[in-house]
Amino acid sequence: MSQPIVVTHPLAQVHLTRLRRDDTPADKFRWHLQRLAEILFTVASRALETSVISIRTPLAETEGHELARPLVLVPILRAGLGLSDAIHPLVPEATVAHIGIRRDEETALPHPYYAKLPPVLGRADVFVLDPMLATGGSACTAISQLKAAGAERITFLCVVSSPQGLEALDAAHPEVPIITAAIDEGLNDHAYIVPGLGDAGDRCFGTT
């Protein structure tokens, strides 16, 4: 199995701890999720290709860099919005493509209900964003949808992952790099990550 990149930076772990705590209210949850998203995206984007360009400073001609390819951010609704809200300001030229998937509460199987994908996918560096990788069903489905629409360079970014989700994603899409802040123990009987942080969408949007 290809190895996920686990971001162990102390600031990432401090924000993650605030997300895990059951006494963190929705406003603080969103704030820590956004700060953690900035750190994770900085790592996830470290290998983006740049083109060298000539520029002029107030003093001299010099060389600089610009991103070589378009960027597409793909939050998986709902909880992925908590990540894209923070990452989009870091790369304001990025296109945001939304994919809606909800897990069936009984079976934990993914049900896609929405997708708005841009034509630029085939030329772009694509970042799929979801705080939780539990069974892996949602991530695998989203990435399959993106590939079917032409995406080739895809990275998956999440906050908490389970060993089962990592294995499922690696089996379905072995070439997709995975960036996460934690690999937890496993899943409970309802396919929730343990210790995890609960239902990310509900905690983000106060719908618990």
Residues involved in catalysis = 103, 107, 199, 202
Q: Where do the DSSP E strands lie in the chain?
A: 5-6, 50-56, 61-67, 71-77, 95-96, 98-103, 110-116, 125-129, 132-133, 153-157, 160-161, 178-180, 182-183, 186-187, 193-194
Which does residue 110 bind out of ligand PRP, ligand URA, none, counting CB within 5 to 8 angstroms by kind?
ligand PRP
The reply on whether position 132 binds ligand PRP by CB under 6 A is yes
**CB closer to ligand URA out of 97 and 139:** 139
**CB closer to ligand URA out of 5 and 108:** 108
Task: Name the one range near ligand PRP by CB under 6 A: 16-24, 39-47, 115-123, 196-204.
Answer: 196-204
Residue 71 near residue 125 (C-beta atoms within 8 A): yes
Interface pick for ligand PRP out of 41, 165, 176, 196 (rule CB under 6 A): 165
Q: β-strands 61-67, 50-56: how paired? A: antiparallel
CB of 160 to ligand URA, least distance (A): 7
Residue 127 near residue 41 (C-beta atoms within 8 A): yes
Task: Name the one range near ligand PRP by CB under 6 A: 50-58, 64-72, 102-110, 178-186.
Answer: 102-110
